[in-house]
Structure 1
Amino acid sequence: MRILMLSEFYGKTGGINTHMVELSRFLKKHEVILSSNPESINIKPDIVHVHHAFTPLTFRAIKKANRKRIPVIVTNHTIAPFHNIYFWRLLKLGMKYLDEVNAIIAVSNAAKKFISNFTSKDVIVIPNGVDVKRFEPLKKEKEEKTLLYVGRLSVRKGVQLLIPLLSKCLKEHDAELIITGKDEMFMLYLLKLQRTICKNVGVLGFVPDARLPELYNYADISLMPSLTMESFGITAIESLACETPVIATKTGALPEIIRSGGITTNLWEFPKAVENLLSDPDRIRKLGKQGRKLVEEEYSWEVVAKRIENLYFKVLDGGMHEEHNT
């Protein structure tokens, strides 16, 4: 099978690019082409899989594939910010084009609920995946406790609140907080907080993907203090794969993704949740084991890629075929 995966986010740092690259790696029986150019449809693939439902590239790709009568699948990776006027315009266009595809995937029930507002088609939930052979638990032998944040340095991720919220907890437990992410101005702000509020903080900046398994394994708990709706949370399943439990805010898909592998709580109860878990090493280990089991059963790329491959075959066999206007 020749599969064309398209997204304007291909080749850019972020979850969609990671998803496309990893999925293509686990579909090794097939010819998979990754591109950010809708003209790539001219290579005559058997199926077009577009990642991100609400971009101009998505709409052009759907239109072009329909003209050539090539089946199209769209994966929704996001819950769009309603305060963004540009996204509102794209959402309006989405209502026109999304009913013309053969199948729609959402990476979570939260993402499904969102996109279902803009299409009459059934939406299939197939989550993001993680390489469980690369992200695996390694033996931890250290006395000090470590909290970890991995992700974008942005206000909506809530990372700027971690130092003020957890400074007392870090001092009382003699624990350290490690923050990673790429944004020089944001890093300067965090370093200023570190100097003025709490010394038990390390701001590492950008960490290459190759080092992430080591970092997750070094940590005792991963933190996700997101302030806005999360459509998934790839860092959550990477952490769980390493048997490192996650404490996250109850936003978007995080509760449905983390489940027995961690704790989801309101932002104002975040410090208490961290303190309680730091005080209970047995529970940290238990949540870690449960998280790894959850990932192996539902989020490993072997499982996720097989589900997507089966959907490709179902669409090509006509099980989800619809006639398109030419």
Structure 2
Amino acid sequence: MKIYYANASLTKNDIRGRSVHIRQFTNHSLQLGHEIWMNQATDHPGIQYIPSDRLQRLKLFRKMDVIYVRLQGKITGACKYTTLPYRLLFGNPINVWEFNTYPILSFSKKLTEAQKQQKLNRFRELGRHCDLAVCVSEKLSEFVQEHLSIKNTIVIPNGSDPVLFDPDLYKNSVLENVNSEQFNVLWMGSAELSWNDFDQLVNVVRILNKRGYEKHIAFHVIGSIDLDIKDIPPNIFCHGKIQYENLPQWLAKMDLGLIVYKPGSADYNSPLKLFDYLSSEMAVVSNEQPQVREVLSKINAEDLICAYGDSEEMANKIESLVNQPERVRRLGDQGRKLVINYYNWERAVRKTYDQILEIKNNQGGFLWKTNSNL
């Protein structure tokens, strides 16, 4: 199939989660034999580009099987292609919207409630003609159905690449400030993002240090943080931003991965770090988050979920794992098998296309002639 992948771009130095998702979707789409077309220049050799000439664009769009719009929260220009006259002009392609975050999140805090409602109404107006909404979590799917009037939704969680994140490939690697004699804990993320609770992580470290673990447990941070934090514990090592393809060698040296979200918008997400942790045979301790709980329950690790903001509880769970090395190894083995068998990008992309092909085989795009509301 010919796929117009809207609101997506790839650049070599983009290490954000969205770039990981876009690259994996593109790679596996091409492997399945589909064509991927984008507006913006990328560093991917397999991507084809939408021409700038309007007539050439129209001719190309009439050949598209699917208009696949990646949404990070706000409405993009390609969302209007669900409606007339674009449907007729383009030959009624299948319109798919992929939801990765809570839509309201993108609305400016400067907007009044009335203005936010106006934007939501516009989202709903365009969304009711969408053929399929791909949502990364159950909670996001529920929001899309209830508030955006898109009834045909499918939940496809994110995943990891177990070939890339294979710890056996990095057994002999040596990394700065990573001592294999210590219990190594990792958190990946950006402290400045409102849904991350870096302060809780620091509090957890301080609690464990007071218990005498300062020399035994090393905490590693990969991502963006404020290095001006006062009295940051000496056993927190900040490694800055690291290219995604270089992450596997770091995760291979870790024993435990942390997820520290604040309640709210993060509840709608599908945390990429969770699946990369699991693929790398790491145990996981997390604040309450719906999809994390669902995944950890599959390896009998629900007891490693903490109440929001409870630093004492998180410290207790880390301490318990430090003193149960066999359980850490067992969780690592079970987590990697879970990724290999289900939570991987190949499965996610293939399942997406299975659903699109079902729509294509049954009816094609939205049946305008039979919809009395149009």
TM value normalised by structure 2: 0.77
Q: Is the 8 A contact 1:6 1:36 kept in 2?
A: no
Count of matched residue pairs: 319
CA change 1:178–1:66 in 2 (3 A) is same
Are 1:181 and 2:216 counterparts? no
CA change 1:21–1:292 in 2 (3 A) is same
- Name the structure 2 match of 1:66: 87
Per-residue deviation, residues 200-232 of structure 1 (Å, max 9, x unmatched): 111111111122111111111011110033211
Letter in 1 for 2:219: L
CA change 1:170–1:116 in 2 (3 A) is farther
Are 1:203 and 2:266 counterparts? no
- Name the structure 2 match of 1:128: 158
Measured after TM superposition, the shift of residue 165 of structure 1 is 2.2
Letter in 2 for 1:73: V
CA change 1:115–1:280 in 2 (3 A) is same
- Name the structure 2 match of 1:2: 2
Are 1:78 and 2:101 counterparts? yes
Per-residue deviation, residues 36-95 of structure 1 (Å, max 9, x unmatched): 699776432211111116423352343475242221111111124568555654322221
Measured after TM superposition, the shift of residue 315 of structure 1 is 2.2
- Taking the aligned partners of 2:208 and 2:368, their CA distance within structure 1 comes to 59
- Taking the aligned partners of 1:240 and 1:319, their CA distance within structure 2 comes to 39
- Structure 2 gaps of 5+ residues are 42-48, 52-56, 173-178
CA change 1:275–1:260 in 2 (3 A) is farther
Are 1:165 and 2:165 counterparts? no
Give the alignment's Cα RMSD to 1 decimal.
2.8
Measured after TM superposition, the shift of residue 320 of structure 1 is 6.5
Query: After alignment, is 96-105 or 167-176 more displaced?
Result: 167-176
* Structure whose residues are more often helix by fraction: 1
Measured after TM superposition, the shift of residue 257 of structure 1 is 3.5
- Structure 1 gaps of 5+ residues are none
- Name the structure 1 match of 2:328: 284
- Taking the aligned partners of 2:297 and 2:9, their CA distance within structure 1 comes to 29
Rg larger for? 2
**2:221 match: secondary structure:** strand
Q: What is the aligned-residue identity percentage? A: 18
- Name the structure 1 match of 2:314: 270
Measured after TM superposition, the shift of residue 321 of structure 1 is 4.1
List, as ranges, runs of 4+ consecutive aligned residues in structure 1 with deviation greater than 4 Å: 8-13, 36-41, 81-89
Measured after TM superposition, the shift of residue 272 of structure 1 is 1.6
Matches within 5 A, 1:101-140: 101-117=130-146, 118-138=148-168, 139=171
Are 1:57 and 2:77 counterparts? yes
